[in-house]
Amino acid sequence: MAELDTSGGGKKGGGKVRSKKQSTRVDLTAMVDLAFLLITFFILTTTLQKPKAMDLVMPDKDEKTKQQLPVKQSTTMTILLGSNNQLEWFVGIAGATPPTKEGYGKNGIRATLFEQAKKIKATTGEDMMVIIKPSDKSNYNNMVSVMDELNITGNIRRAIVDITPADIGLLKRDGIY
């Protein structure tokens, strides 16, 4: 039990004879209980930060499910993630159209995604398919940035694919590998 002792210490020795004062005793048990109740209340009523995760659907690794759906090259945009927060993109086959160096952000790949999706929709009438090929020189933040840009632009047709030696050659040629 918690208590507050307020008794005055008396002097020993001679002097005037004083009457002994009664000590005041305050019981603090109720205040300690109230403090714990308030702490418990605020802990239970606060909202904890919810984890932020992006849904990513990856194919099974079974041999039976390795069948791939055909995708038209005219509706496919390939994004190659390089080093130093830079990327390259091209529509169609690598080599048929020259890759374009781009940065991340609103004026970079996001504007390009909007523009190319509109152009492909107008010419073919189909939605654009985006293939993302991260290199070993790119970092995880680059991958998350591209996925965020695809979510912002509303592109749901996307795939993450291993980068090929020909794609690495394009990155090396342009100095972002």
pLDDT for 104 equals: 85
Is residue 15 a part of any domain in this protein?
no
Is residue 118 a part of any domain in this protein?
yes
Is residue 156 a part of any domain in this protein?
yes
Is residue 129 a part of any domain in this protein?
yes
**Based on the structure, what is the number of domains in the chain?**
1
Is residue 21 a part of any domain in this protein?
no
* Other beta carbons less than 10 A from residue 150's beta carbon: 19
The CATH number of the domain holding residue 82 is 3.30.420
pLDDT for 155 equals: 87
pLDDT for 170 equals: 87
Residue 95 region by backbone torsions, left for phi larger than 0, else alpha for psi between -120 and 50, else beta: left
Alpha carbon of 26 to those of 1, 9, 37: distances in Å?
Answer: 11, 17, 20
pLDDT for 36 equals: 94
pLDDT for 49 equals: 74
Is residue 116 a part of any domain in this protein?
yes
Tokens representing 81 are: 């993630």
Enclosing domain of residue 148 = 73-173
What angle do the packed helices 111-124 and 140-153 form, to 10 degrees?
50
pTM of the model: 0.63
Is residue 53 a part of any domain in this protein?
no
pLDDT for 44 equals: 86
pLDDT for 20 equals: 74
* Other beta carbons less than 10 A from residue 92's beta carbon: 14
Name residue 145's amino acid: S
Is residue 45 a part of any domain in this protein?
no
**Backbone torsions φ then ψ of 125, nearest 5 degrees:** 80, 5
| pLDDT profile of the chain (177 residues), mean per 10 | 59 66 81 93 82 67 63 86 88 82 86 90 88 90 89 87 88 86
